[in-house]
Structure 1
Amino acid sequence: MGEKQPNAQLSSWFMRSGWSKGELARQVNRRARQMGAHHISTDTSRVRRWLDGEQPREPIPKILSELFSERFGSVVSVEDLGLRSTLGSPQMSGIDLPWAAPETVSLINEFSRSDLMLNRRGFLGTSLALSAGPALVEPMQRWLAPTATGVVEIPRQDVRRGGTRLSEPELDLLETTTVMFRQWDAQCGGGLRRKAVVGQLHEVTDLLQESHPAPVAKRLFRTTAELAHLAGWMSYDVGMQPTAQKYFVLALHAAKEAGDRPLGALVLSAMGRQMIHLNRPEDGLELIHLAQYGSRDSATARTQAMLHAVEARAYANMGEVNKCHRAVRMAEETFTESRPGEDPDWIGFFTQGELYGENAHSYRDLSYVAGRSPAYASLARPAMEKAVELFRQDPDQQRTLAFNLIGMSTVHLLQREPEEAAAFAYEAAGVAERIRSERVNTRLRRTTANAMNDFGDVPEVRELAEHLSELPDPSDPTPARQAV
């Protein structure tokens, strides 16, 4: 048997990351605790062995892939790191899935059950990997292909016996529960209620395996799509990127079976946001354009405004200044056309404050792409101030408040106002302590690190960094968290 060869690929990514072996080991242990894999205890000697060619056992390759992807802002696969990953079934690991009702129900039921059984806090097997580029966009384009009836009946041989008819009040209750879960997510972050949402999703797909009249099946598919989208969004919020993408894909399939194009557009917008977050704005833009095209005749003005706002974020991250300006303007103009009472509940999050915040973040992103341009930061500032003012008055949108406070902090950093930046970040830290959102925590830590790099001699910045270092590890499930 030949001797082990050093892992040159992993070593290259490790050297570029700037991490020490101890720091990487601590991050692996923290992510493992998030996933519920409490048996993992990595140290510097173990990291050294990986660099020397030892192949770690699952879920370490998946954890390393996620950590390096987040560090570099783009997808770094297990294979890119020179590691081997246990392969799962095509149904569990792929996203190019059959667009048919029975398969959709079966896949969501299987995936949610695995999430519940294998994963106490996010550890869904070890075979998931992010898809990007044509491998992601091309399968999603099949969402546009028409079906014969909009809702495909599950074949009789696939229907479980003993099913009962759902009453109108029972259907109403399922839909009301989904609304409640959305409210909890906005108030508390994705980390506190994700498992409850996954459990509810699994129960609804159990119901879909029974025989129902077409109108009832259509409502159940719509509820399934909303719950799968929410499960994906919560997974995204706590840093479980491959799991989030899988739920988004399944949500889009369910929305297609419900015949609900605007809901499908919402799902595609979430997938687009995820790609922008992972520094793949071109992929994000393609998904947003697919959402816009597919829902152009059916989405409300508020939904269309939201899609324009996410489109602006994609253009900003691509450095497309004129197109970003145009998308921002379209979002603002379209939003004024929205009318009370015409929107589904799932788009209720896109308020005037959200519009201000999205457009401000687009200009903030443009500033970074343009080499920290103060001109774009000055465009971001008034809109961000309005967003912060509105969300401070809304106790039901704590996570969004935190994001906009952090955004306000970054704008002040771009304008070289470190004292003001530290004050907003400090306020965001107070909100972050009351919710559970890895996205908020990560963005807050990154903003504070940038402040220390540029203004480490400013007392307010040093105090902020010291304050954050004393807070409990946000990935540790042990400390009790206060829900807002």
Structure 2
Amino acid sequence: MGGSGAGGSNAGKRPNEQLGSWFVRSGWSKGELARQVNRRARQMGAHHISTDTSRVRRWLDGEQPREPIPRILSELFSERFGSVVAVEDLGLRTAHQSPSVSGVDLPWAGPQTVALLSEFSRSDLMLARRGFLGTSLALAAGPALIEPMQRWLVPSPAGETRRAEPAGSSRRPSRLSRPELDLLESTTVMFRQWDAQCGGGLRRKAVVGQLHEVTDLLQEPQPEATSKRLFKCAAELAELAGWMSYDVGLQPTAQKYFVLALHAAKEAGDKPFGSYVLSSMSRQMIHLGRPDDALELIHLAQYGSRDCATPRTQAMLYAMEARAYANIGQPSKCKRAVRMAEDTFSDAGLDGEPEPDWIRFFSEAELNGENAHSYRDLAYVAGRSPTYASLSEPVMERAVELFGKDEEHQRSYALNLIGMATVHLLKREPEQSVVLAEKALGVARRVRSERVNTRLRKTVDTAARDFGDVAEVVDLTDQLAAQLPEAAEAV
């Protein structure tokens, strides 16, 4: 029978139809689910968990398991289906936990932000296990995600935006010099370049370690100007740690870093960067099949930075708005957002003001890639529409052409090659699709990005399902199996 900690309440139990529905759709047996729960529990150090088929049957019959079982089940089903399956979606209850260790509804105040960044980055460095940082990490979605993020716009009470040293403090004064601050900021730029060129899997731990070092500096007494620059540095490193985590498939970890990055951006008083963090969160929600949440996050980003974001940043936000509308299935709003992105981008750089490094990635190639993917997504939502696929094709071709000349953004090159391959599949042109997928495979082998690998596998699987009798597709399937590494542990 299940060991202590695996069981729960039997009071007034009725069959759990929600859990039963997800279980049937998963294709797992009771024994397989039990083994996965036990394996995940061991990874997170919950060695008291010992689940078997009879225990799984009791959960299906209505028994409420105790923590951490509900969160383990939520993550396993989320990974299985590629979208958020919350504890509540499974008909389960989760214990209340303090904001310091769970969820995204965190205090919007400097000292707490520093403490949470320090705690989370330290846990990540120590545990570094796939998707798990203790018992508390789970994806948030819907109102549970959107409502806390809306507090980004609420002004902080006077005196709470910076860490203040208590009177008579005996702590040594900070010796952080301007050149040291400059070096910290330039290191962040270097990490961002590595990520674009090599994928999120190569330097993720280094970024997390640097973030932890910055939080140590923020816990020392600092002049206000220095503190503000350090919060900005922390925000950029946390966003990059989130982006790298997203790229290698650690979705709950990525979301937590994004949320903490938004908090740090608020402390730095950097609304444009806050809008960029929200755009990263929006992209993740599209990836997880939550386009309505993605649209809410983008609208929050646009509203919060409407009076201070550069044209390039505004164009990026319009492009992400188009992606959200495409995935919701609203063609007219998608096309309008695409036009706004193009029109606004044409103003980028005209005022002569220097752009922050974090938005420089949004080039003409990136603009074309985003807009092409919006049309491509519309094609899928509209039942594999050849009309929208044809709209996507010339824009995607331009993105592939431009990224092909850009050695720095190899991951984006691979993603757009794969995007172009999917467009040819939509147009029922498997041979052309294979040519592009083969090019993407060559890039994927050089880039540490599980996101690239997953999209490529999915595209080849689609080709094999729809055109399995085409010789080129058969050959590509064999190449993929031989050359593309299976998902590796994140580093």
The answer to whether TM tops 0.5 is yes
The one-letter amino acid paired with 2:164 is P
Which residue number in structure 1 is paired with residue 292 of structure 2?
A: 282
Structure 1 residue matching 2:265: 3-state secondary structure: helix
Which residue number in structure 2 is paired with residue 144 of structure 1?
A: 153
The one-letter amino acid paired with 2:181 is L
Equivalent in 156, 163, 184 of residue 154 of structure 1:
163
The one-letter amino acid paired with 1:135 is A
The one-letter amino acid paired with 1:131 is A
Which residue number in structure 2 is paired with residue 406 of structure 1?
A: 418
Matches within 5 A, 1:27-38: none
The one-letter amino acid paired with 2:402 is L
Structure 2 residue matching 1:169: 3-state secondary structure: helix
Alpha-carbon distance change, 204 to 410 in structure 1, aligned in 2, over 3 angstroms: same
Alpha-carbon distance change, 132 to 210 in structure 1, aligned in 2, over 3 angstroms: same
Gaps of 5+ in 1: none
Which residue number in structure 1 is paired with residue 188 of structure 2?
A: 178
Equivalent in 55, 60, 74 of residue 65 of structure 1:
74
Alpha-carbon distance change, 61 to 473 in structure 1, aligned in 2, over 3 angstroms: farther
Share of identical aligned residues, percent?
65
1:362-408 CA distance string (max 9 Å, x none):
00000011111100000100111111111111121111111111101
CA contact (8 A) 1:151 1:217 kept: no
Deviates more, 1:132-141 or 1:219-228: 132-141
Structure 2 residue matching 1:289: 3-state secondary structure: helix
Which residue number in structure 1 is paired with residue 471 of structure 2?
A: 459
Which residue number in structure 2 is paired with residue 376 of structure 1?
A: 388
Matches within 5 A, 1:94-105: 94-105=103-114
Is 2:375 aligned against 1:366? no
Alpha-carbon distance change, 384 to 38 in structure 1, aligned in 2, over 3 angstroms: farther
Which residue number in structure 1 is paired with residue 449 of structure 2?
A: 437
CA contact (8 A) 1:251 1:267 kept: yes
Which residue number in structure 1 is paired with residue 433 of structure 2?
A: 421
CA distance in 1, matches of 2:256, 2:389: 35
Aligned-CA RMSD value: 3.3
Which residue number in structure 1 is paired with residue 3 of structure 2?
A: none
The one-letter amino acid paired with 2:100 is Q
CA contact (8 A) 2:418 2:437 kept: yes
The one-letter amino acid paired with 1:475 is A
CA contact (8 A) 2:199 2:447 kept: yes
CA contact (8 A) 1:319 1:369 kept: yes
Alpha-carbon distance change, 380 to 150 in structure 1, aligned in 2, over 3 angstroms: farther
CA contact (8 A) 2:326 2:374 kept: yes
Equivalent in 295, 298, 301 of residue 305 of structure 2:
295
Alpha-carbon distance change, 258 to 331 in structure 1, aligned in 2, over 3 angstroms: same
Alpha-carbon distance change, 23 to 274 in structure 1, aligned in 2, over 3 angstroms: farther
1:95-147 CA distance string (max 9 Å, x none):
11111111111111111111111225553113111111111111111111223
Which residue number in structure 2 is paired with residue 396 of structure 1?
A: 408
The one-letter amino acid paired with 2:391 is L
Is 2:326 aligned against 1:316? yes
CA contact (8 A) 2:131 2:251 kept: no
Which residue number in structure 1 is paired with residue 134 of structure 2?
A: 125
Alpha-carbon distance change, 84 to 2 in structure 1, aligned in 2, over 3 angstroms: closer
Is 2:283 aligned against 1:273? yes
Alpha-carbon distance change, 26 to 301 in structure 1, aligned in 2, over 3 angstroms: farther
Alpha-carbon distance change, 14 to 372 in structure 1, aligned in 2, over 3 angstroms: same
Alpha-carbon distance change, 133 to 82 in structure 1, aligned in 2, over 3 angstroms: closer
Which residue number in structure 1 is paired with residue 5 of structure 2?
A: none
Is 2:210 aligned against 1:200? yes
Alpha-carbon distance change, 411 to 93 in structure 1, aligned in 2, over 3 angstroms: same
Which residue number in structure 2 is paired with residue 168 of structure 1?
A: 178
The one-letter amino acid paired with 1:442 is T
- Once the two structures are TM-superposed, the CA of residue 440 in structure 1 deviates from its matched residue by 1.4
CA contact (8 A) 2:82 2:288 kept: yes
CA distance in 1, matches of 2:278, 2:84: 19
Is 2:257 aligned against 1:247? yes
Alpha-carbon distance change, 311 to 56 in structure 1, aligned in 2, over 3 angstroms: same
- Once the two structures are TM-superposed, the CA of residue 190 in structure 1 deviates from its matched residue by 1.2
- Once the two structures are TM-superposed, the CA of residue 179 in structure 1 deviates from its matched residue by 0.5
CA distance in 2, matches of 1:324, 1:242: 28
Deviates more, 1:356-365 or 1:1-10: 1-10
Deviates more, 1:197-206 or 1:443-452: 443-452
Alpha-carbon distance change, 2 to 201 in structure 1, aligned in 2, over 3 angstroms: closer
1:397-439 CA distance string (max 9 Å, x none):
1111111111011100000001111221222122112122221
Equivalent in 232, 236, 239 of residue 229 of structure 1:
239
Which residue number in structure 1 is paired with residue 6 of structure 2?
A: none
CA distance in 2, matches of 1:47, 1:449: 32
Deviates more, 1:460-469 or 1:375-384: 460-469
Alpha-carbon distance change, 173 to 130 in structure 1, aligned in 2, over 3 angstroms: same
CA contact (8 A) 2:31 2:53 kept: no
CA distance in 2, matches of 1:13, 1:417: 35
The one-letter amino acid paired with 2:260 is L
Deviates more, 1:20-29 or 1:66-75: 20-29
CA contact (8 A) 2:441 2:484 kept: no
Structure 2 residue matching 1:333: 3-state secondary structure: helix
Which residue number in structure 2 is paired with residue 386 of structure 1?
A: 398
Which residue number in structure 1 is paired with residue 367 of structure 2?
A: 355
The one-letter amino acid paired with 2:150 is Q
CA distance in 1, matches of 2:330, 2:447: 35
Structure 1 residue matching 2:400: 3-state secondary structure: helix
CA contact (8 A) 2:59 2:65 kept: no
CA distance in 2, matches of 1:423, 1:13: 38
Structure 2 residue matching 1:275: 3-state secondary structure: helix
The one-letter amino acid paired with 1:161 is R
Which residue number in structure 2 is paired with residue 75 of structure 1?
A: 84
Gaps of 5+ in 2: 1-8
Deviates more, 1:411-420 or 1:51-60: 51-60
1:426-480 CA distance string (max 9 Å, x none):
22122112122221122111111111111111111111222222236432359xx
CA contact (8 A) 1:319 1:370 kept: yes
Structure 2 residue matching 1:192: 3-state secondary structure: coil
Structure 1 residue matching 2:201: 3-state secondary structure: helix
CA distance in 2, matches of 1:466, 1:84: 45
CA contact (8 A) 1:285 1:315 kept: yes
